[in-house]
Structure 1
């Protein structure tokens, strides 16, 4: 059976890195990072751009689901509200597809350390730290399988996800 694997988490939780590791250990897979659908300059969040991004994500994921070449579809994105997860799933034809939704949970210290490293490398700006920390508690309320990624490697988190797909 085809599997759709959604991975959520706050900014800096390790979604993209864990998804890349998962891509390396799952057979016949494809990976979409929702951020690729937001990669615009200037970055503008309006009702129109949100709708466009949701439509693009749904279109790509539905094409992956339809394609017989892939048995595992990995999708990661900042989905800090159940309504975001529900919106993504509502646009997909998941008949004949097993859907598993995961949240990467990280404690404040681990998140701060990770984000500070990104700030030092120029990948992110410092304001992301406070915004990301504020979102940590939101992930506990989601109807997802929680993976505590605070003190494990991305490879270990990917293996935990793989183990829960069985």
Structure 2
């Protein structure tokens, strides 16, 4: 049976890096970053673009699920509300999938350090820290498996998820 693996977390927590490594650890795997489905300039958030990105994500996930060559589908995105996860799962064909939903969480200091590295590199602006810290609180309320990355490398985080996926 296929595995559909959803990895959520606030901005800068390490979703993309973890998912990329996890893809390498799993056989017949594919990785979709939700941000790739919404990579536009300028970045506009409104009802129309939110619907567009959700349609893009659902379409791509269903394509991966229907492909016989793919057994492990990894999807990451800022899924900070249960309704986002629920909408995705209600619109993809999970009849022949084991579904795993994870949230990457960490301490405020760890998140600030991750984000400051990106700010220093010019990848993000300073205002991301406050917005990301606010969203972090929301992940504790979700119906997901929580993985605290505060004292873990990206490889250790990917390995933790790998072990959960392969537990007998």
TM-score for both structures, normalised by structure 1: 0.99
Alpha-carbon distance, 1:58 to partner: 0.3
Distance in 1 between the 2:133 and 2:25 partners? 30
How is 1:28-67 mapped onto 2 (pairs within 5 angstroms)?
A: 28-67=28-67
In the TM superposition, what whole-angstrom CA distance separates every residue of 1:76-108 from its partner, at most 9, and x where no partner exists? 000000011111111101111000000001110
Deviation beyond 4 Å, 4+ runs, structure 1: none
Alpha-carbon distance, 1:33 to partner: 0.1
Distance in 1 between the 2:44 and 2:12 partners? 20
In the TM superposition, what whole-angstrom CA distance separates every residue of 1:113-166 from its partner, at most 9, and x where no partner exists? 010000000110110000001111110100000000111011110110011113
Unaligned regions of 5+ residues in structure 1, if any? none
Distance in 1 between the 2:61 and 2:126 partners? 32
How large is the RMSD of aligned CA atoms in angstroms? 0.6
Alpha-carbon distance, 1:24 to partner: 1.1
How is 1:35-114 mapped onto 2 (pairs within 5 angstroms)?
A: 35-114=35-114
Distance in 2 between the 1:141 and 1:90 partners? 20
Distance in 2 between the 1:124 and 1:22 partners? 25
Distance in 1 between the 2:127 and 2:88 partners? 27
State whether residues 5 and 101 of structure 1, in contact with CA within 8 Å, keep that contact through their aligned partners in structure 2.
yes
Distance in 2 between the 1:131 and 1:140 partners? 16
Unaligned regions of 5+ residues in structure 2, if any? none
State whether residues 107 and 136 of structure 1, in contact with CA within 8 Å, keep that contact through their aligned partners in structure 2.
no
Where does residue 133 of structure 2 map in the other structure? Answer: 133
Aligned to 1:32, the other structure's residue is in SS state strand
TM-score for both structures, normalised by structure 2: 0.98
How many residues are aligned here?
166
Distance in 2 between the 1:53 and 1:161 partners? 26
Aligned to 2:140, the other structure's residue is in SS state helix
Where does residue 24 of structure 2 map in the other structure? Answer: 24
Where does residue 5 of structure 2 map in the other structure? Answer: 5
Distance in 2 between the 1:138 and 1:9 partners? 9
